[in-house]
Amino acid sequence: MTSKNLHQLSIRAMTAGFAAGSFSPVDVTRALFNAIEADTYGINPFVQLDRGGALIAAEASAQRWQGGKARGPLDGVPVSIKDLSHVAGWPTRRGSLATAKEPVPTADAPAVKLLRDGGAVVFGKTATSEYGWAVISESPHSGITRNPHALGHTSGGSSSGAAAQVAAGWGPLALGSDAGGSVRIPASYCGIVALKPTYAAIPQPPQSALAEYVHLGPLVRSVADCRVAMQVLAGADVRDPASLFPRTATRLPDRRLRIAVAARFGKQALLDPAIEAAFARTVEQVTALGHTVHPLNTDWLDTADDAWNIWASRIHESFCLWDDAQRALLDPRLLRVYRNGGALTLTELSRSRTRLRDAGNRMAAVFGEFDFLLTPATATPALPLGRLAPDAHPRCELIESDTGNWFDISPYTYLFNMTHQPALVLPMGKTGARLPFGLQIVGQRYADDALLDFGETLEPLLASGGPYAPAIAPAL
């Protein structure tokens, strides 16, 4: 590892170097910005960068390390913030042209405060799809964010910039958010690790129309780094009453694990053959570890349309107080979802809520019997830029031209936002076209530590590429 590549180190390797005096947070920050500025691929993960402020924070961290007074395991580590959370002094644009005149926040969001208090170097904000509405990596405000593995493909969303940044090697940690899959899907598409922790394990920024589904979560390159990040991020804040629950460490049961597996949810229309084959191999590997593994019957999990009805109604709620001129600044696809959400009847919404509540109750029963559930993280690898659905999906035209329902394409993630359970995504493989895809491990609510423990046991089985190298490939 040369001084030019210090930004590619893991969190633990980075802070070990700080402690030993081999290099400093200033060295890492300079290497990071030099690498970002040298990008010739147009990956475009950032909407805000602050080299001067980051270097000031890095110098303060360097002095703490030299004096033996580091604040914790993230002191001096560079971290980015998804542009749906407030950072004091930086605009929060939410991927939208409609936010240009909003006042600049004067206070950090709770999670950003935890990071700063822990000594992390907050160096920039990452791109998001507009208001986090879809798993695409584009917005009216920031334009296109490219997948470092295949530049003609999406990096996923809505934490699109966060996933692309970490996959490209530009720092080991990004803070994203997930209301239906928005850290897990881009992690799968970009071949990295992401955690959607138990609801409110990381305190939320000011609440939105999707507040009871949104989980903040780290995007990293290893379970070990995820664990370190959560040591700082998993804290309480009075601005988020849901975060004030008692926090106790959980451990794996002292017995054989009971693991449910599901390759498909309900009558799911599409599953890429490479993902299906890799998932079957993973199930065989888990079985070989001696755990009790059972296929889960998921006939009752055809709820993507119901989840989308709730999603569209909350999109409508998000913009219903705006005037027509402000709404006209939204992406036309988002505006269409807004209008569709407003056209839903009370009966339609009530039916969808009832079916989702029933699904949540049945999933609770599953976790009364099993410790973990394994699924693919996504049904397909990353789509070409600009696409909401693959051509092979039977409802492709309807999704692209009308509904925008990406839950129908990515059915594995949204339910666990509604049940508030933790879910971890690990890289599971790549297609013949070099596009990554991931494994999702779902745990019991509040059992985040046990989930990370189990993730660490599976991570070596899934690793296939050797030591980490930045993922930047020619466009496909």
Active site residues: 82, 158, 182
Residues in contact with 323: Cβ distance below 8 Å, sequence separation at least 6, in sequence order: none
Q: Whose structure tokens read 């709404």?
A: 327
Q: What phi-psi label fits residue 451: left (phi over 0), alpha (psi between -120 and 50 degrees) or beta?
A: alpha
Is beta strand 173-178 parallel, antiparallel or unpaired with respect to 215-220? antiparallel
> 327 burial class (0-12, 13-18, 19+ CB within 10 angstroms)?
middle
Distance CA 94, CA 415 (A): 24
Residue type, 381: P
Helix (H/G/I), strand (E/B), else coil: 88? coil
Helix (H/G/I), strand (E/B), else coil: 144? strand
DSSP state of 294: E
**Cα 212 to the center of its chain, rounded Å:** 17
Residue type, 166: V
| Bridge partner residues of 193 (DSSP) | 220
∠ Cα 213 214 216 (to 5°): 150
Torsion of CA 316, 321, 323, 326, to 10 degrees: -70
Is the previous residue joined to 158 through a cis bond, with omega within 30 degrees of 0? Answer: yes
